[in-house]
């Protein structure tokens, strides 16, 4: 019998060579760059730099001699540059927000798991406290033992007073019931 060669599904395929090799490095480096860029764009320093750039641009293209100006039609090239900057900034900011959202999801999941563990621990401790209370209900407490001992002490004092010698000097024998006289 000739066995037919079929590819096995549990064995990985051979690695194919690519025409353009992939850059080896951190796959997350562009995301980190996007976050850093978005963070920088949200600072007062960036606003100052951008304002300074626009003011220099305007002054140069209005005051400089016509041969030294690089924007023949003032504000047209500046508008193009600002639009280009905005068209790159928006996706980078969205990428940074998406990465932050993913981190927030991970943190929220970790918080949920920690809360679930804390809840389970509290339920366990509540059951333990309840079982200790039930066990203590069957054990004599210090106050209960003291009250019993005081009661016994007072009974002994009463018995001693009853058995004390009469004013004639001799003690009278008494029965167990505490009455004087012959016992039955």
Please give the Cα distance from 174 to 164 (Å, whole number): 11
Residue 166 — very low, low, confident or very high, per pLDDT cuts 50/70/90?
Answer: low
pTM of the model: 0.45
Please give the Cα distance from 70 to 64 (Å, whole number): 10
Question: What pLDDT digit, counting tens, does each position of 9-41 carry?
Answer: 666 666 666 666 656 656 678 888 888 888 888
pLDDT tops 80 at residue 100: yes
* Mean per-residue pLDDT over the chain, rounded: 80
Give me the mean pLDDT over the 70-97 stretch. 85
pLDDT tops 90 at residue 109: yes
pLDDT tops 50 at residue 184: no
Q: Tell me the C-alpha to C-alpha distance, in Å, between residue 6 and each of 9, 11, 13.
A: 9, 11, 12
Which one is predicted more confidently, 17 or 105?
105
Domain ranges of the chain: 29-114
The pLDDT value recorded for residue 124 is 94
Q: Is the dihedral of CA 41, 43, 47, 52 positive or negative?
A: negative
Query: Could you tell me the end-to-end alpha-carbon distance of the chain, in angstroms, rounded to an integer?
Result: 114
Question: What pLDDT digit, counting tens, does each position of 168-178 carry?
Answer: 655 555 555 45
């Amino acid at each position: 019998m000739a066995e037919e060669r079929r590819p096995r599904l549990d064995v990985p395929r051979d690695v194919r060579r690519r025409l353009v090799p992939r850059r080896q490095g951190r796959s997350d480096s562009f995301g980190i760059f996007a976050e850093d860029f978005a963070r920088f764009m949200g600072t007062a320093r960036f606003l100052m730099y951008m304002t300074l750039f626009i003011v220099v641009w305007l002054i140069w293209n209005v005051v400089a001699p016509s041969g030294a100006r690089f924007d023949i039609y003032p504000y047209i090239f500046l508008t193009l540059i600002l639009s280009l900057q905005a068209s790159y900034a928006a996706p980078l900011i969205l990428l940074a927000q998406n990465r932050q959202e993913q981190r927030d999801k991970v943190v929220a999941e970790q918080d949920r798991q920690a809360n679930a563990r804390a809840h389970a621990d509290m339920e366990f401790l509540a059951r333990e406290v309840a079982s200790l209370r039930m066990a203590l209900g069957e054990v004599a407490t210090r106050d209960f033992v003291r009250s019993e001992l005081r009661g016994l002490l007072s009974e002994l004092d009463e018995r001693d007073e009853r058995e004390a010698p009469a004013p004639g000097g001799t003690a009278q024998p008494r029965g167990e019931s505490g009455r004087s006289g012959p016992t039955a």
